[in-house]
Structures are given as structure tokens and as C-alpha cells.
């Protein structure tokens, strides 16, 4: 009887293994059905969080440009190094003077994230204000960024003291245009030649904005990055604070430096991840490097993260920024899964961790990509899209209750991105329904 029972257990175990193998053969068949995927470089890795192993892969050890999947690395770095609140400004009081330093905080006068804590601190201080100039180890554009995107809203300059998101909002008012901040109103001129449509552009090397000589459309609005400088920051501060602000150079940070905190870290992280905000991603790396190295050494931060964390991953990682705008970034699908597992270790509660990722059919960059299944979302993933690059990496829950981490990376395709998105949705929905 004992031998019979043992035989039954072995048979059930072998049957379960066979069923599992057959199941993933079905997934292989789903990939084989695709007429889109074979035409470009794609990779996929599926990791079972219940059995703690990779259960399916396609070119999972090959390198890809990740686009905004890079922000997941910035998420991990932020969770490791930043506290609950963002450092808004460093300062010290000397006699009748308040001397302050930027921290890289992207929320100061940001249209969505500013809490006014730093603003009120500076506005209502009874002391004379002095802004301190600081240098950064990297230029305002990171390696691998496209210079032709200099006036696109998604590529603002990176700075030690960002203000207004380093963006000018230009919008219709009456028959003309107004700018926020209003400092830039006088920087808008008219380009004197005929055009078929109305638009506003910024010159490459100045903060001069031009509009075509056509009637301004009703409800017109556009966002344009401005060229950041210390002197411009002081001018903008004086305009908004309605008080004089001095400027100091070569003023070392003292040992008794104090800090005013601004916004919740998690609020900023969620705003970075869901709409995929490049400006927030890069300035989070500024904040982290300022905390770790007492200065803006973002290149050293990447080396620090590589040495202390990413060297333990299965494949080599090449990162040149924190947002994914750089085409020099290179990772593998199983690198992404390693990262997702590391984030799971930091935030083990699923409901809390999922808040950092767009939910399919609910919010962020996946709101319209997926439909709810049985009335609920089933996928939480970071997307990444630049020219001929479209990626998703995150977590998925199936109808049977199993949980997986996955990474689906696509490069070098020559069809509309919507085709790639539909293929990913089809395969991920198949996993949801069949595993």
C-alpha cells in the first residue's frame, strides 16, 4: 500500500510537470503565431514569483535599448536611497543672511507637484536671500540624447535648481499668447513669413520664442523647455518671490547645513512612472547623488549602483541616464526581471508596489492598452517608447492566482508602434487567461 501511494504521488508529480511543460508549449505557440515579432529584435522573460524561477524566455539574455524602462532603475535607486520626503533646499543662516543651495528637487513651482513649502520658506524669511551656484558632473543633456528634441516638452534641461519644471507654458489669451512664468512674455516674437499652420518654436541657443504670423487658435497651449542658467533662476525667483535674491559663487557647504523638505517621495515616484516623466526621472538621480555624494555626481551614482547592486544581476547593464532618453542604454529582459525582483524585496506588499506602475486598463501609459479582465486589472508594468523601441516590464497576475514578473522588449521594428503594442497585449492577455 505504501509503495502504491508513493507511485501515485510520483505519477501526479510527473503529470503536473508534463502539464506545466505543455502549458508553456502553448505560450511558445502564441509567439509562433505572430507575423509581427519575427521581423524585428525582441526578447521576453517570464519569472514565476511563486516557484521563484524563470519559466519561459525568448532571447532573454540579449541586449536591448530599454527606452523608459530605464525609469524602473531610477525607481529602485530612489527607494534605496531617498527617505519619505524630497529634500527641497539646503540652507544655512549667517547673520542677517539666508544662504541656500539647490538639491535637484524637481517640484519647486512645478505645475502639478509643488507643495509651496520651499516657496513659503524663502518668501517669508526675514533674512536676505542668497542663492549659491553649484556645478554638476554631467551636461544638461545626457549622453545619447537627441539635440533635435531640444524644444520638446519631454526633454527639459537638467539643473541643480530646477524651477517651473524648466518648462515655459505658452497659451492663447485673447488674440495673442501669454507665458507661464510671465517672465517669458517679452521673449515671444513673430516669425515674418507665411506658414500653413500655427506653431510656436524656441531658438536653439537662446530663450527667444517665435510664433507663425497666423491667428492664434482658440485654446492653443504648448510647453517648451527653456535654457536654464543660474542667473535666470535668480531672475525667476525675484519675479515670483517679489523680493531681492543675491547670488554667490564658490561658497562651500558648511557642516551645519539644514534642509527644508518639500514633497512626498512616493508622490514624485508615481508621477515619474505612470505618465513616464523624463524630467522627474533625471532630477531624482540628481537628488540621490546629492544625498550620497554631497553634490551632483550622477555619473558616479550610476557607477555606485552598478558596483553595489547591478553587478549581481545575470547580464551586464549599460546606463547613461535615468529616464531612458539615451539610446546608449542597454539591458536584457532578464536584467529587467532581476530588477523587478529587487524592487519586490524592497516593497513586498503587492498593492503598495503596484502603485508605482501603470495598471492596464486603469491609469498611466497602459490605461488604453489593456482591458480589464473579470472587472479588474491584471498587469502593472512600465512602458518604454522611443523611435523603433517599445517595451513593457512589470508584474502580471493570472486567473488562477499565480503571479509573475516579466519583461518584453522590442527594438528595430519598421511598423507603427501600435502593431507592437497589440502583439504584447495579445500575448500578455493569453498568459493572464491560461496560466
Shared domain check, 187 and 72:
no
- CATH assignment at residue 74: 3.40.710.10
Alpha-carbon distance of 113 to 125, in angstroms, equals: 22
Domain tally, the chain? 2
Quickly count: other Cβ atoms within 10 Å of residue 108's Cβ.
Answer: 28
What residues contact residue 77 under an 8 Å CB cut-off, 6+ apart?
A: 284, 285, 288, 301, 305, 322
What per-residue confidence (pLDDT) applies to 364?
A: 95
Alpha-carbon distance of 14 to 12, in angstroms, equals: 5
Who wins on pLDDT, 195 or 114?
Answer: 114
Closest listed residue to residue 125, CA positions, set 243, 233, 239: 243
Is the pLDDT at 287 greater than 90, yes or no?
yes
Average pLDDT score over residue span 352-366 = 97
Is the pLDDT at 136 greater than 50, yes or no?
yes
Q: In this predicted model, what pLDDT tens digit does every residue of 215-273 receive, in sequence order?
A: 899 999 999 999 999 999 999 999 999 999 999 999 999 999 999 999 999 999 999 99
Last residue of a domain, one of 211, 227, 243: 227
What per-residue confidence (pLDDT) applies to 213?
A: 84
Is the pLDDT at 82 greater than 60, yes or no?
yes
Shared domain check, 429 and 290:
yes
What per-residue confidence (pLDDT) applies to 192?
A: 63
Shared domain check, 298 and 220:
no
pTM above 0.85, yes or no: yes
Average pLDDT, the chain: 93
User: Domain for residue 173, yes or no?
Assistant: yes
C-beta separation of 344 from 353 below 8 A: yes
Shared domain check, 204 and 346:
no
User: Domain for residue 10, yes or no?
Assistant: no
Average pLDDT score over residue span 82-86 = 97
Who wins on pLDDT, 152 or 20?
Answer: 152
Domain that holds residue 204: 164-227
Is the pLDDT at 194 greater than 70, yes or no?
no
Is the pLDDT at 13 greater than 50, yes or no?
no
Shared domain check, 328 and 208:
no
Sorting pLDDT into bands at 50, 70 and 90, what band is 139?
very high
For 129, the grid coordinates are 536671500
User: Domain for residue 396, yes or no?
Assistant: yes
What per-residue confidence (pLDDT) applies to 60?
A: 97
Average pLDDT score over residue span 171-181 = 93
What per-residue confidence (pLDDT) applies to 14?
A: 41
Amino acid at each position: 500500500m505504501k509503495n502504491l501511494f508513493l507511485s501515485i504521488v510520483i505519477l501526479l508529480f510527473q503529470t503536473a510537470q508534463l502539464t506545466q511543460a505543455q502549458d508553456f508549449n502553448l505560450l511558445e505557440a502564441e509567439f509562433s503565431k505572430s507575423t509581427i515579432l519575427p521581423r524585428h529584435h525582441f526578447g521576453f522573460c517570464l519569472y514565476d514569483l511563486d516557484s521563484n524561477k524563470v519559466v519561459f524566455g525568448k532571447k532573454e539574455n540579449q541586449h536591448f535599448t530599454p527606452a523608459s524602462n530605464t525609469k524602473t532603475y531610477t525607481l529602485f535607486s530612489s527607494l534605496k536611497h531617498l527617505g519619505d520626503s524630497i529634500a527641497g533646499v539646503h540652507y544655512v543662516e549667517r547673520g542677517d543672511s539666508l544662504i541656500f543651495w539647490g538639491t535637484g528637487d524637481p517640484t519647486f513651482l512645478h505645475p502639478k507637484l509643488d507643495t509651496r513649502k520651499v516657496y513659503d520658506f524663502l518668501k517669508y524669511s526675514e533674512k536676505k536671500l542668497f542663492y549659491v551656484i553649484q556645478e554638476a558632473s554631467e551636461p544638461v543633456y545626457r549622453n545619447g540624447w537627441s539635440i533635435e528634441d531640444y524644444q520638446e516638452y519631454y526633454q527639459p534641461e537638467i539643473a541643480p535648481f530646477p524651477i517651473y519644471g524648466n518648462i515655459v507654458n505658452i497659451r492663447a489669451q485673447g488674440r495673442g499668447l501669454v507665458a507661464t512664468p510671465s517672465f517669458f512674455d517679452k521673449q515671444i516674437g513673430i516669425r515674418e513669413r507665411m506658414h500653413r499652420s500655427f506653431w510656436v518654436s524656441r531658438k536653439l541657443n537662446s530663450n527667444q520664442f517665435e510664433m507663425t504670423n497666423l491667428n492664434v487658435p482658440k485654446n492653443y497651449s504648448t510647453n517648451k523647455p527653456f535654457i536654464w542658467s543660474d542667473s535666470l533662476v535668480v531672475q525667476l525667483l525675484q519675479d515670483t518671490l517679489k523680493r531681492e535674491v543675491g547670488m554667490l559663487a564658490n561658497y562651500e557647504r558648511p557642516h551645519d547645513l539644514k534642509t527644508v523638505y518639500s514633497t512626498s517621495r512616493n508622490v514624485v515616484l508615481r508621477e515619474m512612472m505612470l505618465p513616464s516623466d523624463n524630467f522627474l526621472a533625471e532630477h531624482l538621480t540628481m537628488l540621490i547623488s546629492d544625498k550620497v555624494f554631497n553634490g551632483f555626481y550622477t555619473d558616479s551614482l550610476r557607477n555606485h549602483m552598478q558596483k553595489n547592486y547591478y553587478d549581481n544581476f545575470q547580464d551586464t547593464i549599460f546606463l547613461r541616464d535615468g529616464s531612458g532618453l539615451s539610446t546608449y542604454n542597454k539591458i536584457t529582459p532578464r536584467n529587467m526581471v532581476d530588477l523587478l525582483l529587487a524592487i519586490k524585496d524592497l516593497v513586498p506588499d503587492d498593492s503598495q508596489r503596484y502603485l508605482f506602475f501603470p495598471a492596464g486598463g486603469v491609469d498611466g501609459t497602459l490605461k488604453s492598452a489593456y482591458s480589464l479582465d473579470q472587472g479588474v486589472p491584471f498587469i502593472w508594468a512600465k512602458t518604454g517608447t522611443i523611435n523603433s523601441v517599445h517595451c513593457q516590464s512589470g508584474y502580471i497576475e493570472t486567473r488562477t492566482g499565480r503571479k509573475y514578473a516579466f519583461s518584453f522588449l522590442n527594438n528595430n521594428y519598421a511598423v507603427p508602434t501600435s502593431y507592437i503594442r497589440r502583439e504584447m497585449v495579445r500575448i500578455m492577455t493569453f498568459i493572464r487567461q491560461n496560466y
